[in-house]
Structure formats: structure tokens, C-alpha cells
Structure 1
Amino acid sequence: MRIVITGASGQLGRHVVEALLEHNFPASSIVATGRSVDKLADFAARGVQVKTMDYTNPASVAAAFQGADKVLLISGSEVGQRVEQHRNVIEAAKAEGMKLVVYTSIANVDTTGMKLAAEHHATETLLQDSGVPFALLRNGWYLENYTEQLPGTLAQGTLVGSAGDGRVSAASRADYAQAAAAVLTTDGQGGKVYELGGDHAFTMVELAAEISAATGEPVTYQDMPAADYARVLAGAGVPEAFADILADSDLGIARGDLLVPGGELQKLIGRPTTTLAQAVRSALAAI
């Protein structure tokens, strides 16, 4: 069985390839793809097949899929262009006769009003209409969405946002990657839909308290209107359109859109998910 990992040079994709290797899936049966094969050289040195693939170039997608049985379609990063990009991948998978397309969607996509979910919902519809066997990994928020911002948070002593007292079921990229590897290597996944999130949801006030506990420095959470938060993000260098999407996502957290009960992620990976405390302390150790 040959498995293609799209976006393998990205952070989640790299974790998925590592997870497959850790579970002794044959390196020669993994196809790691990305726009730049130079970024995949370390995988090639370990026996992984490496191929150039660009979602916007259907010919490159078709070439990367030759002889493959399954593909992990990691959602593209270019908001506003992702539906057509994903369509190219789905059509190539159908033409190749893939046995399974696994797609990284977003949690609660059927009910959320988050702007970020629109392209995920459209992609799920494309899959449903394609006739290709598929499984959906509706991933919740990454813990790294917060821990990667720790230097700035500590410098300001304040965590800002528009999430109110909403709870978010976040997990690490490595957790979600382990789940993807489990689905890719287990039979009978066609038609499965997984709502995935961390075991213990938290609020932004609790996140601030965890940072304070880990550093011994006072950190507070400042809630603000979404329009103000979007301006703060834009002022920090985030492109204006994406700043608006991030602020809107915080409003989704306030509504409970990223609260994921059920423990499906823990069941897939066979262990508890990474805790907030573990993620904060690990990130601090790396600073």
C-alpha cells in the first residue's frame, strides 16, 4: 500500500510522515509531497519517496498520485483559494482510483458560523459528490496557535483576544498527526467522520493562568471586541483579511464552536492528548 501525504513540508505534514515512520510503516511506501523537494530532503535520506506537488498544478498532482492507494489531503493554507486547490486533488485521486482520501477539515463544520469553516465545508461537499471513498478528520484548534505566540505574550504580560469565556478543545499538531496516521493505516475508514479535539478544554483566562504558573510572571487575558482585536493583529503584521478571520474565529470560540466533546482523538491515538500545561512548558523550554 502506498500512501501520499500532501503538504509534507508543512508542520502538520511533517508530523504525519514522522508518525507513519514511528509506527514502522515502510518508508518506501510513503510519498511525501510539497512545492519544494529541498524541504523534504531529510525524509528522502530515510527512504521516503519525495515528489514535487502544487495544489494549483493538476499535472503535478496527477504525477505525484501515480500508483498510490491512499492520500492525506492536508487543507491548503491560502484562504480564499482552497476550494479549487482541493478540487484538483480530489479529481486526481478519483482518476487514479484511490481507495481512500483523508481530509483535514475543521471541528463542528456542520454547525459553526466561523468564516474559516466555509472552505472546509465546501471541500467536504466536493468529496461527498466525487464518489471517492473518504474519511474526514475534523481537527480542532492547535495548541501551537497559542504557544507559538508566547514570546510576544510574555513581553506584553497580556494575552488578548475576543474569545470571552468560551472553551476551546485544543491539541498538539503531533496529536492530530498521530490520528491521521492511524486512519491512513487502518482498514474500513471509508465514510468515517471524526470530530477531534483535546481531552481538556480551556478558556483564555485559564491559558493566561497556565502561562503565569509556568513562568512565575503575571499574565492576564484582555477580552476585546472582534473589530479591535483584528486591528491589533493587523498592527502586529497579520494581513488584514486574515486578521479578520482570526478575530472571527475567536468569536466562534466564544460561542463554543471549537468545543469538541467525546474523546475521539484520544481513542485514535491510544493515549491522552497533550495537555495545556505540557504544551506551555515545552514551548517555554524552546525559547
Structure 2
Amino acid sequence: MTIVVTGATGPFGRHAVETLLSRGVPADQIVAVGRSIEKIQDLADRGVTVQYASYDEPESLRKAFAGADKLLLVSGSEPGKRIPQHQNAIDAAKDAGVSRIVYTSAPNADSSGMILASEHLATEQALAASGVPSVILRNGWYLENYDLRGALEHGMFGASGDGKLSLVTRADLAEAAAAAVVAESHDKQVYELGGEGVTMAEFAAEVSRQSGREVTYTNMPQDEYTKFLVGVGLPEGFAAILADSDHCAASGALYTGTEDLAQLLGRPATPLADAIRARLA
């Protein structure tokens, strides 16, 4: 059995590969795929096959997926490009005879209304249309999305009101993805993955408790939050996507519950307090 992991030169894909190795998958049965393969030369030194491929280059994907049995398709990171990029990967996987694709999607992709979710939902639909058996991992909001050191100095800002966000560590999600790709069978096709749900005010309070410094949360209208994000250096289009996600979170778009993640991990998600403590250390 050969398992291909795309995006292996990024932190999520890299952690998924490390988890596969720690679970006893032989290194020579793992293909780590990415664009900046110099970042994962150490994996090659440990026996993992390291292969260059880009979602924008179908031929490179066909080469990387040749002979693969399973594919962990880590979603692309470029808004506006994901649909054709993911279609390239799905087509290459189908041509290669891949028996299962595990895809990292967005929380509540079919119901949230988030701009961020639209490309992920389109990919889920493309997977269904491909006929290749697939498992959808709708990954919750990363704790790593927040600059906790910056929050100690300036506080936290957003547009999510009293909505609960199922904050989760990237490592937990990557471990769950590795578990999903090695599983022989699944209880469901779609998993909603997240940690414990907290409001941003509760999140700020926990950062305050862990750090011993007062951290406040300031809620803003969506348009004002967009301007705020642009003011701190984000491109306007990306700022608008993040502000839209926050606005939708006020209505529960980023709340997933914890059951599906615990099922894949075989343990509860990392407690938020522990994750914050580690981030601040």
C-alpha cells in the first residue's frame, strides 16, 4: 500500500507524514509531495519518497500519484485557485487508480455560507462526481490562526460576537487526517472536526489566565473588522474572507462539536488550556 500526502512541505502535511511514520507505516510506503521539496529532504533521508508536484501542473501530479493506493489531499492555500487546482489533483488520482481520497475541507462547508467554504464545497462536489471513494475532513478553526503574543500587547479583535468557535490545534487535525487515510473503513463520509467551543471573549479570558496579563476582546462590525485587518497588513481580499468567516461564526459556522475528532484520534482533542499554554511558552 502506498499513501501519498500532498502539501507535505507545509506544516499540516509535514505533521501528517510524521504521524504516519509514528503509527508504523513503512517509510517506503509514503510519498511526500510538495513544491519546495528541499524543506523535506530529511524525510527522504529517512526513506520516505519525496516528490515534486504542483496543483497547477497536472503532469507533475500524475507522476507523483502513479502507483498510489490512497491520497491525503491537503487543500491548497490560494483562495480563488483551489477549484481548478483540486480538480487537477482529483483527475490525476482517478487516472492513477487511487482507491480512496481523504480531503481537508472547511467546517460546515455545505451550510455555513462562508466565502471561505465555497471552494471547499465545490471540491467536495467534484470528489463525489469523480466516482473515487472519498472521505471529507471538515477541519475546524486553527488555534494557530491567532497571534497570541500579539494579543498580549494589543488584545484580540474580531466580528464573531457571542458565537462559539471550535478551536483546535493544527497538530490534532493533521493526526486525525493520518488516522483517516490509514483506516480500512469509515463510519461516515464526512467528519466535522474541532475542539472545545468557546466565544472569542472566553478565548481572550483563557489567554489572560494563562499569561497573567489582561487580554481583552473587541467585537467589531464585519466591515470595520475588514478595515482593521487591512490596516495590520493583510491583503484586502484575504481580509474580507477572514472577516466574513468571523461574521458567519457569530451564527455557528465555526462550531463543530468534538465527537468526530475524538473518534478519529482515539482520544479527546488537546484541551484548549493546554494548547494555549504551549503556544505561549
Q: Which bracket does the TM-score occupy, shorter chain normalised?
A: over 0.9
Counterpart residue type for residue 128 of structure 1: A
Q: Which residue number corresponds to residue 91 of structure 1?
A: 91
Partner deviation per Cα, 1:90-121 (whole Å, 9 max, x = no partner) = 00011011100111011111111110000001
Contact 1:134 1:190 in 2 (8 A): no
- Structure 1 counterpart SS, 2:192: strand
Determine if contact 1:143/1:170 at 8 Å carries over to the other structure: yes
Equivalent positions of 1:182-197 (< 5 A) are: 182-189=179-186, 192-197=189-194
Question: Are 1:255 and 2:277 counterparts?
Answer: no
TM-score (normalizing by structure 2):
0.98
The farther-off stretch of 261-270 and 17-26 is 261-270
Q: Against the structure 1 CA distance between its residues 84 and 191, is the aligned structure 2 distance closer, same or farther, given a 3 Å change threshold? A: farther
AA aligned to 2:44 is A
Percent identity (aligned): 53
The answer to whether the aligner puts 1:270 opposite 2:266 as a matched pair is yes
1:212 and 2:208 are equivalent in the alignment:
yes
Q: Which deviations, in whole Å up to 9, do the C-alpha atoms of 1:127-168 show, x marking residues without a partner?
A: 11111111111111111112xx01211121x11000101001
Structure 1 unmatched runs, 5+: none
Q: Distance in 1 between the 2:125 and 2:106 partners?
A: 14
For 1:203, give the aligned amino acid. Answer: T
Corresponding position of 2:161: 164
Structure 1 outlier segments of 4+, above 3 Å: none
Q: Secondary structure at the match of 2:278?
A: helix
2: CA distance, partners of 1:215 / 1:262: 26
1:3 and 2:15 aligned: no
Question: SS at the partner of 1:260?
Answer: coil
Equivalent residue, structure 2, for 1:55: 55
Q: Partners of 1:239 and 1:10 in 2: how far apart? A: 21
1:230 to 221, 226, 231: 226
The answer on whether the counterparts of 2:258 and 2:269 sit within 8 Å (CA) in structure 1 is no
**One-letter amino acid of the counterpart of residue 161, structure 1:** G
Q: Distance in 2 between matches of 1:189 and 1:211?
A: 36
CA contact (8 A) 1:103 1:134 kept: yes
Are 1:175 and 2:175 an aligned pair?
Answer: no
Q: Can you list the C-alpha shifts for 1:20-77, whole angstroms capped at 9, x where unaligned? A: 0111111110100100110111111111110001000001000001111111111100
Partners of 1:262 and 1:7 lie apart in 2 by 25
Displacement after TM superposition at 1:262 (Å): 5.4
**Cα–Cα, structure 1 residues 281 and 262, in superposed 2: closer, same or farther, change >3 Å?**
closer
Offset of 1:170 from its aligned partner? 1.6
Structure 2 equivalent of residue 123 of structure 1: 123
More off after superposition, 185-194 vs 107-116: 185-194
Task: Output the CA distance in 2 between the equivalents of 1:93 and 1:51.
Answer: 15
Question: Aligned partners of 1:29 and 1:121: how far apart in 2?
Answer: 30
| One-letter amino acid matched to 1:76 | G
Alpha-carbon distance, 1:4 to partner? 0.3
Distance change >3 Å, CA 40–CA 262, structure 1 → 2: closer
CA distance in 2, matches of 1:86, 1:273: 28
| Contact 2:4 2:68 (C-alpha < 8 Å) held by counterparts | yes
Which segments of 5 or more consecutive residues in structure 2 lack a partner in the other structure? none
Aligned residues: 281
Give the secondary-structure state (helix, strand or coil) at the position aligned to 2:245. Answer: helix
Is the contact made by 2:67 and 2:97 (CA closer than 8 Å) also made in structure 1?
no
Instruction: Find the aligned partners of 2:64 and 2:239 in 1 and give their Cα distance.
Output: 34
Q: Secondary structure at the match of 2:71?
A: strand
Using the TM superposition, give the Cα deviation of residue 224 of structure 1 relative to its aligned residue in structure 2, in angstroms.
0.5
* Letter aligned with residue 124 of structure 2: E
Distance in 2, Cα, partners of 1:78 & 1:85 = 9
Per-residue deviation at 1:190?
A: 9.4
Question: Which residues of 2 match residues 8-157 of structure 1 at below 5 A?
Answer: 8-146=8-146, 149-156=147-154
RMSD (Å) for aligned C-alpha atoms: 1.1
Write the letter of the residue equivalent to 1:68.
A
